[in-house]
Structure 1
Amino acid sequence: MRFFKTIQPCNLGLMCIHIWIYCSTHRALPTDGMPLMTVMYLVLSVSLVAMVLADRARPLPESAKRRIDAASAAFMMGSAFFLAFPLPLSGALTTFAGAVLGGVGVGWTYARWAEFYSQLDIHYAAPLVLLTMALGSLAKTVVDLLPPVPATIVLVCMPVVAYATLYRSTASVRPAPEAYRYYNSRTVTSLWRVGFGIAVYSFTVGVIQSTPLAQLASTGAVAIVAKHAGEIIVALALLAWVVALKRGLSFGRIWNLVLVLMATALIFAPYLEDVMGGYLFTFVGVAQTFVIIILFLALADIARHSSYRAITVFAAGWLAYTLPFAVGDILGESLQAVTPDASMVMAAIVWLLVIVTLFFFDESSAGKSLIFTELNDEGDEDTSAKRFGAQQQALNEEKAADMLSLRCTALAQKLKLTPREHEILELMARGRSKTYIAEAFFISENTVRGHVKHLYAKLDVHSKQELVDRVEQTEVRG
């Protein structure tokens, strides 16, 4: 229960973004056929790509970030006004304007909060984000039930509150232990399964949003309360799991829970009575909210243990959610003309989710299994996080400009080796085993054997000793 004694209320400001994006896009205003979510998520995806490119080119100073903060808040405020306030010209034009402004603003705001979360110890960040989900869902219930004018006022104020609490949180951030940097240019590709799995899930949700399946969901005040109550129950249950029971989180098991919620809704809802089936279909919305909050936490944890900046990690990771959602939404609209019967679409989505969960969210990837690992390894002396972290640190130290490294670099340039082949060459020259190399790069030993085979061919050698001799014979020009 130490968490509740140390929590700082300003740290809960992330929920302002959850409230804003959900309530701004789900209030029932006429759109005249304009696909609100598709436009917003496409614009958001473009913004995320721009963030990655800009952040990789040159880190922004804090003064520049503050100016972008102000612009993002203004965009979100204008978006909320266009989307939630019943203007005389409400329709396609105002929906498009709101979607564009919102897509530009919300991505940057999320990224700025990701920067803050990446500075936190996971033992504080995990319960914090779960409590944020619970309180945010409670607040969404209230805002959803407000009349248009009061709801618009609340939504226009949300971006201001989000940034005000962010600045206060950043100024008073609690110090966290130094983190191991085990995600770098050598190992970041080990997360491709996570990215692909999230992309497939998001794609299926986008399809659901724009097909007759979405019509199963109940509407009205009772349905709104039921949906948000489900989100609160899931968040509080996991909060009790982490705080009261002091248990960890498994990324793979979390996705099993998502699969259960989605499959339950898609399989049983169509066969129940209209009211019961509609309430059961709210599980889709609960799963979507849960995925968003857990993905945010996972990206913050990855950023904390990464050699890349937090904005780059967040923008690249969030893109795996936003772009497939927009593509799925577009495809879903097309499917209505091809197959008006939603049963086949429902079956295909359930099948796809099962396959993705089985093959892309298992624990076979070392890179993926390290997500939340510090939360799971508390109190252990020899943990996977410490082992991989120490290994990556040792590799970085070995890359110091000694003679062996210079010879390997010269040989790699002469033979035009790939970056991965260059690094494997250097490790082999240092006497490292294939098992060590596989662990260092978060890849299988079979993959290492493939690289070694190509290396032998390019160097025209037939053994590890011949490889070492070839490196030692390489001349380094001063």
Structure 2
Amino acid sequence: MPNTRSLGYALFLAVNATAVWGGVFPFLPMSIQTSSFTVAFFLAQSLVFAVSYFASTLGVYFFPGPARKFLVWAAGLPYLLGWCALIAAVYVQDAALKLAIAGGALIGFGSAGFYMAWQRLFASQKPAVGNRDLILATVFAPLIYFALYLIPVAVTVFLIPTVFMPLFALSILVASRTTDLDQPMFENLPREHKNTYVQALKDYWRSAFCIGAFAFSCGVVRSIAVETPEVGAEVNMLSMASMLVAGVAFAATWQKKSLQLNVSSAFRVLFPFVISAFVLLPFLGKDYIAPFAGALYALYDCAIILMMVQCAQASRERGINPVFMYGFFGGIVYMLHDAGYIMGLFAGNLTMFGLQPLTSIALFSVYLLALVYFVGQGGFKQALSPNRARAERIELIPTAAAPAKRKRPSASVQAEGQRKPAVVDRISKQCILVKKHYKLSEREAEVMELIARGATVARIAEMLTVSENTVRTHSKRIYAKLDIHRKQELADLVDSFDPRTLE
């Protein structure tokens, strides 16, 4: 069932979609939605939005103190002023272009701040709770968005800054009261654990580029939508419908089984379909844009969910500040979205060689997507390296324990998961069975096995490139899940599982 967190985030997503998704405003008069107005707004909004992510990453690293607080007013005030600027543009049309730029910049900064606050909240919760709230919000956001059309347009535009924004700002303030600030992700000072943060950037930048490729594609589609506001309104509707489908698909699948997803592998599978869709663009014309955008945004929405889940997982497992991780990841993704939008505008107005606008857009899109694909896979360094490292998997693990049995072989244990963990000896096999039975994450299973082998906290922290506080937090969670209190109880529990199950 939805709660304050999921409904608040859903309302934020719905309201944000009325302006941020492409500079097309379904609740503002079409008379002011000229090409120059929408282009100016979205350039200002998107660039400030992406830069704010990178700025948050640097800010958390060098000034970790303020990051311990939910500074909602720092995001809410510019967001409110941005919407006031958009409303003012309707009545002061002589200054509409300047107000569009100011409104775009303010909304971009404010929305980035709210996204950071929500990500911080979801990451601070237990994985099952945070992931559930995030996915439920993704399901309810489109429903709220479509419900906004039931309100008279002239009223809706005033309700957003005066009613809706205060509501989702209040919801995050209320929800944040239960946040445990004693977790390693908040306690650990970034500059005191530099190696942990650097290693995280090395491990996750490829995933960011893969998701950024979908963002780039959506930026291109948005550039076409902005040029034609009538088409843009249809794209907005299909985008939100795609979000609903993506959210329902995630929720339904997660309820049935554990999910282990590899972003890089998924991108390699989908890449040929994406570039093939762009190749069809000049042949099928503008009637093809809306369904193409709907399918593309379905993939993009799934990717955004995975981005937030993966960043939260990295923060929990490695003791990294969630704003740092999400700011780095999101900065890459949304900067590539901006690059796609700018490229689409440039290619659409390019008339040399007698190319039609859609032909130019398709040509440049396929070329730049191929470059992003190459860079995202590691570039020349990765292509020539003998060690083909891959991004870590994303885990969505149900809260209920699996009905495994001890001292008896079980076919279901071996069937779960996408890849078998490394089996070294009897203890490794037994730890795999414990992980399956109690639904431990990969990192929890690593820590559990090292504890079972007698490794100290300091040694485990060194081996996993995390802080000692992070190891202690994992140990507490492991002991709670296994319902034990001492190392000897862990050893006895591990020994109670029959390793022949995996043979």
Q: Distance in 1 between matches of 2:285 and 2:347?
A: 25
SS in 2 for 1:314: helix
1:445-464 → structure 2 map (5 Å cutoff): none
Aligned twin of 2:77: 74
1:192-271 → structure 2 map (5 Å cutoff): 192-211=205-224, 218=231, 225-243=237-255, 245-252=256-263, 255=267, 262=274, 266=278, 271=283
Aligned twin of 2:437: 379
SS in 2 for 1:372: strand
Residues 92 and 168 (structure 1), Cα distance of their counterparts in 2 relative to 1, 3 Å cut: same
1:386-408, CA deviations, whole angstroms, 9 ceiling, x for partnerless residues?
A: 355569996971499xxxxxxxx
Tell me the amino acid that sits aligned with residue 33 of structure 1.
S
Contact 1:55–1:312 (8 Å) recurs in 2: yes
Q: Distance in 1 between matches of 2:328 and 2:311?
A: 9
SS in 2 for 1:24: coil
Contact 2:218–2:293 (8 Å) recurs in 1: no
Q: Distance in 2 between matches of 1:31 and 1:381?
A: 54
1:207-263, CA deviations, whole angstroms, 9 ceiling, x for partnerless residues?
A: 332258975984567x655443332122112211002x1231414366478658855
1:335-365, CA deviations, whole angstroms, 9 ceiling, x for partnerless residues?
A: 2233544235325535765786699579x97
Tell me the amino acid that sits aligned with residue 242 of structure 2.
G
Aligned twin of 2:484: none
Q: CA deviation at 1:271?
A: 4.9
Q: Distance in 1 between matches of 2:198 and 2:450?
A: 11
Identity of aligned residues (%): 14
Tell me the amino acid that sits aligned with residue 55 of structure 1.
V
Contact 1:72–1:105 (8 Å) recurs in 2: yes
Contact 1:303–1:309 (8 Å) recurs in 2: yes
Name which of 336, 341, 350 aligns with 1:329. 341
Q: Distance in 2 between matches of 1:213 and 1:30?
A: 9
Tell me the amino acid that sits aligned with residue 397 of structure 1.
A
Aligned twin of 1:159: 165
Q: Distance in 2 between matches of 1:53 and 1:169?
A: 26
Aligned twin of 1:189: 202
> Which runs of 5 or more residues in structure 1 are unaligned?
401-426, 428-436, 442-478
Tell me the amino acid that sits aligned with residue 23 of structure 1.
T
Q: Distance in 1 between matches of 2:267 and 2:124?
A: 25
Matched, 1:15 2:10: yes
Q: Distance in 1 between matches of 2:108 and 2:62?
A: 22
The range that moved more, 92-101 or 120-129, is 120-129
Residues 146 and 33 (structure 1), Cα distance of their counterparts in 2 relative to 1, 3 Å cut: farther
Residues 272 and 19 (structure 1), Cα distance of their counterparts in 2 relative to 1, 3 Å cut: same
1:72-105, CA deviations, whole angstroms, 9 ceiling, x for partnerless residues?
A: 2121122123335662224211211111111221
> Which runs of 5 or more residues in structure 2 are unaligned?
186-192, 379-386, 399-416, 418-434, 467-503
TM norm structure 2: 0.65
Aligned twin of 1:88: 91
1:164-197, CA deviations, whole angstroms, 9 ceiling, x for partnerless residues?
A: 1112222245999999x99643454121211222
Contact 1:303–1:314 (8 Å) recurs in 2: no
Tell me the amino acid that sits aligned with residue 73 of structure 1.
G
1:290-301 → structure 2 map (5 Å cutoff): 290-301=302-313
Contact 2:14–2:142 (8 Å) recurs in 1: yes
Tell me the amino acid that sits aligned with residue 231 of structure 1.
M
Residues 203 and 53 (structure 1), Cα distance of their counterparts in 2 relative to 1, 3 Å cut: same
Q: Distance in 2 between matches of 1:231 and 1:254?
A: 18
SS in 1 for 2:113: helix
Contact 1:270–1:277 (8 Å) recurs in 2: no
1:71-470 → structure 2 map (5 Å cutoff): 71-83=74-86, 87-90=90-93, 91-143=96-148, 146-156=151-161, 157-172=163-178, 184-211=197-224, 218=231, 225-243=237-255, 245-252=256-263, 255=267, 262=274, 266=278, 271=283, 275=287, 278-338=290-350, 339-343=355-359, 345-346=361-362, 349-350=365-366, 353=369, 360=376, 368-372=391-395, 379=437, 384-386=442-444, 388-389=446-447, 397-398=458-459
1:429-459, CA deviations, whole angstroms, 9 ceiling, x for partnerless residues?
A: xxxxxxxx8x979xxxxxxxxxxxxxxxxxx
Q: Distance in 2 between matches of 1:136 and 1:220?
A: 17
Q: Distance in 2 between matches of 1:114 and 1:171?
A: 15
Residues 97 and 147 (structure 1), Cα distance of their counterparts in 2 relative to 1, 3 Å cut: farther
Aligned twin of 1:404: none
Aligned twin of 1:422: none
Let me know the Cα RMSD of the aligned residues: 4.2
Tell me the amino acid that sits aligned with residue 170 of structure 1.
S
Contact 2:395–2:441 (8 Å) recurs in 1: no
Residues 130 and 351 (structure 1), Cα distance of their counterparts in 2 relative to 1, 3 Å cut: farther
Q: Distance in 2 between matches of 1:367 and 1:388?
A: 18
